[in-house]
A and B are shown apart, each in its own frame.
Chain A
Amino acid sequence: MTQLRRPDECGVPDPMQYMHPVLKKNYGKWKYHDRPRPGVLHHVALSGDEVWTVKAGTQRQMDIFTIRKLADIADQFAEGFIRFTVRSNVEFMVSSAAKVQPLLDKLAAEGFPVGGTGNSVTMISHTQGWLHCDIPGTDASGVVKSLMDDLHAEFIREEMPNRVKITTSCCEINCGGQGDIAINIQHTKPPIINHDLVAGTCERPAVVSRCPVAAIRPALVNGKPSLEVDEKKCVCCGACFPPCPPMQINDPVHTKIAIWVGGKHSSTRSKPMLHKLVAAGIPNNPPRWPEASAIVRNILRAYKEDARAWERMGEWVERIGWPRFFELTGLPFTKYHVDDWRGSRGSLNASAQVRI
């Protein structure tokens, strides 16, 4: 038997060895930047050095042929360096303005959309979905591909009031982030339990403690130790499913999509905000999710028409108020929009300020 190799616990590598030389030379010494056109950034260092960055969209889940193609493009047109953004856009850096146009032409010829800068709708950040997760209610790559096809014109232009960051999540509670628009799974029925498998697969106390509303209790079903759910209490969140796969929460019909708006991480102008529910009951409809896409585009239309320069989605709604948001988008306002979770009183209007 061959000797197993001990890992070299080398940790996070030093970025300097992989960094474009102009970035490396001017590290921490940048003066300002501007955007000559959508998809292109121009940074000027205190030293007077300049660098142009061309940003393009990718499919994120990339085959090695695509990655090698990006490497070829970087070698021929961009000085041999690449970086990725947290939203899986690819960035090529060049040290002269003359190199920008040939790079843009090459990216266009190879089918990589250039954009995602400034006040555009940038790449949707997404999760794993049916391709790879063990609990997903929908796919992620497919939702994003469909939406980005539909939003392509807004990716390559900078015509929104401010940047728009969209996120998706293929379950209700885990990996999705806050976004100007969030497209998330929302289950609508309690889990269906396969009682034959619970005892053999699930650590029952751990599952009981996972439920946010204490709806699960241990029970004997058909003489076997299992779990039961108080369906009056259950909020259909799916938190019991990862620790106990026999508590099947995913359903081809009852697993729906909900859309949330106004989330924001930055502390810029307004404080960071959590996104708020605006639409639900949307069918989980592969391969192109047309119903979800139509609602997203409708919200973006209203935002684009009505928001002021620099207003993020959530800031726009705070200014115009929720009545006007529902009016401008034509979306219904239902009892499900009124929060009843802990701390929810803070989301009620404790004033005589009304918009009528």
Chain B
Amino acid sequence: MPRKMPETPLLDQLESGPWPSFVSGLKRLAQAEDKPYADYMKSLLGQLEHSYQTRKGYWKGGTVGVFGYGAGIIPRFSEVADKFPESSEFHTIRIMPAPGMHYTTELLRQMCDIWERHGSGLVAFHGQSGDIMFQGCTTEKVQPAWDEFNALGFDMGGAGAGVRTSVSCVGAARCEQSCYDEARAMRSVLNNFLDDIHRPSLPYKMKFKFAGCANDCANATQRADFAVIGTWKGDMQVDQAEVVNFVNKVGRKGMIDQVIRLCPTNALSLNDDDTLDVDNKSCVRCMHCLNVMTKALTPGTERGICILAGGKRTLKIGDLLGTVIVPFMKMESDEDYEALVDLCQRMLDFFAENALEHERLGEMIDRIGLVAFLEGLELDLDPNMVSHPRTNPYVRMDGWDEEVKKWQARKADAAE
């Protein structure tokens, strides 16, 4: 006998209002009586209403996987299966989308069809981790669903103490601020670590994220252990005629209030003829003036990336923002992209060897010190890595002369 729709007086209140309602969507699935998931989703709605009534969650983890991989399925078993038996197993399959999250309608329909055959019909586009989250699958159906997604050309995302699914901004595909090929960088790095995505054995999770400029639309700075942010070296490009047009449009006061005075390093000045004077040596490539004057200002021509390491959320020592470990790395030729992959590999190896169990990269750097981390990765020290030099004398400095020699040798190399 088919299940009746559960009473959901609290969830029903989330069907009104102008924003699209996930509850209405859950109900559409639960009422698709000709589909295999109708009773499954009635049961799920019942459990969710029970959570709303009692203000508690009722899922527990477990072990579910697919053949050949050690991660990527998020297992969920119900603790109230006696009341809601059909949805007692409600696992998520994490699938990695293409960078920039581009889809043809054909691809979306194929994904829906697979999920109609094997799953609940509920999908999150996307989890903040960057995965397509196909939510709601029985243990038995996980393998056949996965087989079909895999045959479509998609691979499983990360989970647990391994390399995780990545995110990039839309970047080069549709943004004039993009300073490198984010999709290429993301695929080069992630696809180099497939074993660490699928068979996690690191001390803890490792997240890479890729943003094309300092606007960081990929939320990489705090949400990634390894944040790759586009930037440029040398002068920004200025179309002075467009600057004049802009000033004519917004007025001098508008120009001063919205552009000149908001530059964080006072690198901008308005000339008497309404053209712009840029002190490129003081510019920190923050993107503000380029965002406001999209027609007039463009990143410089020598483009590349800045790398920040150690961003993470609260557990265990508190939220951390990433900090600079590479101020600039050119990102143009094949060799440049290979050098990035190589650096990521060195970083991951160092992390695997030196981090304590359940310690994130930022916590490890905090514990061993930035200098030890840089030495481990064979990265050059740079004053861009600090807000300011140390303010206390509690350090043994008898290696001073040698360090000065290193610095001078590096400067001589760079000058050649």
Contact = CB atoms under 8 A, between A and B. Distances in A.
Interface of A: 4-15, 17-20, 23-24, 27-28, 30-34, 43, 51, 53, 57-68, 70-72, 74-75, 80-86, 88, 90, 93, 111-113, 125-139, 141-142, 145-146, 148-149, 152, 172-178, 206, 209-210, 212, 237, 239, 245, 250, 252-253, 255, 263, 265-270, 272, 274, 284, 286-288, 308-310, 341-343
B25 A245 contact: no
Contacts of A24: 173
20 contacts: A12-B191, A20-B102, A23-B174, A28-B172, A31-B295, A59-B19, A61-B26, A62-B22, A64-B115, A66-B20, A82-B102, A84-B103, A142-B11, A178-B319, A206-B358, A237-B314, A252-B55, A267-B214, A269-B264, A309-B257
A28 B298 CA distance: 13
Interface stretch (B61-69, B347-355, B372-380): B61-69
B233 interface: no
A268 B215 contact: yes
A8 B153 CA distance: 8
A152 B57 CA distance: 28
Contacts of A152: 17-19
**Residue in B112, B128, B170, B178 whose Cβ sees the most chain A Cβ within 10 Å:** B128
Given A71-B109, A88-B125, A139 B25 contact: no
B131 to A, nearest CB: 11
Interface residues of B, number: 126
Given A287-B10, A288-B13, A9 B194 contact: yes
A252 B76 contact: no
Of listed B126, B215, B222, B257, residue having the most chain A CB within 10 A: B222
The 4 closest A-B CB pairs, nearest first, are A149-B17, A63-B25, A11-B191, A252-B55
B288 A65 contact: no
Given A60-B124, A83-B100, A310-B288, A12 B186 contact: yes
A60 B25 contact: no
Interface stretch (B46-54, B271-279, B335-343, B396-404): B46-54
Contacts of B319: 178, 274
Contacts of A310: 258, 262, 288, 292
B176 interface: yes
B383 interface: no
Interface of B: 10-11, 13-14, 16-23, 25-26, 28-29, 32, 48, 51-52, 54-61, 66-69, 74, 76, 90, 92, 96-109, 111-112, 115-116, 121-128, 130, 135, 143, 146-147, 150-151, 153-156, 166-167, 169-170, 172-176, 178, 181, 183, 186-187, 190-191, 194, 198, 214-223, 229, 257-258, 262-264, 284, 286-288, 291-292, 294-295, 298, 313-319, 321, 357-358
Contacts of B106: 80
Contacts of B90: 132
B358 A210 contact: yes
B287 A268 contact: yes
A12 B187 contact: yes
Contact of B22 (A10, A17, A74, A145): A145
Contacts of B257: 308-309
A14 B143 CA distance: 24
B318 A342 contact: yes
B98 A14 contact: yes
A33 B22 contact: no
Contacts of B74: 132
B174 A30 contact: yes
Contacts of B98: 12-15, 17-18
Nearest to A8: B150
B294 A33 contact: yes
A43 B317 CA distance: 43
Contacts of A18: 98, 102-104, 107
A9 B190 CA distance: 12
Contact of B21 (A74, A75, A145, A268): A145
A136 B76 CA distance: 13
Contacts of A15: 98-100, 102, 173, 183
Contacts of B219: 86, 177-178, 265
Contacts of A138: 55
A174 B314 contact: yes
B160 to A, nearest CB: 12
A26 B291 CA distance: 20
Given A12-B187, A132-B92, A4 B10 contact: no
Given A59-B21, A81-B103, A177-B219, A125 B128 contact: yes
Given A43-B174, A136-B57, A287-B52, A265 B105 contact: no
Given A6-B68, A32-B176, A287-B10, A63 B26 contact: yes
Nearest to B177: A30
A93 B317 CA distance: 43
Given A11-B191, A19-B173, A80-B104, A269 B288 contact: yes
A71 B176 CA distance: 27
A173 to B, nearest CB: 4
Given A64-B115, A269-B262, A28 B286 contact: no
Contacts of B25: 59, 61-63, 65-66
Given A57-B19, A287-B14, A309-B257, A70 B108 contact: yes
A74 B105 contact: yes
A177 B219 CA distance: 8
B128 A86 contact: yes
Given A7-B150, A84-B125, A134 B14 contact: no
Nearest to A211: B316
Contacts of A51: 174
Contacts of B190: 11-12
Given A10-B153, A11-B190, A135 B57 contact: yes
Contacts of A86: 101, 126, 128, 130, 167, 169, 217-219
B294 A32 contact: yes
A24 B48 CA distance: 42
B28 A23 contact: no
Contacts of A206: 358
A82 B170 CA distance: 12
A216 to B, nearest CB: 13
Contacts of A284: 55
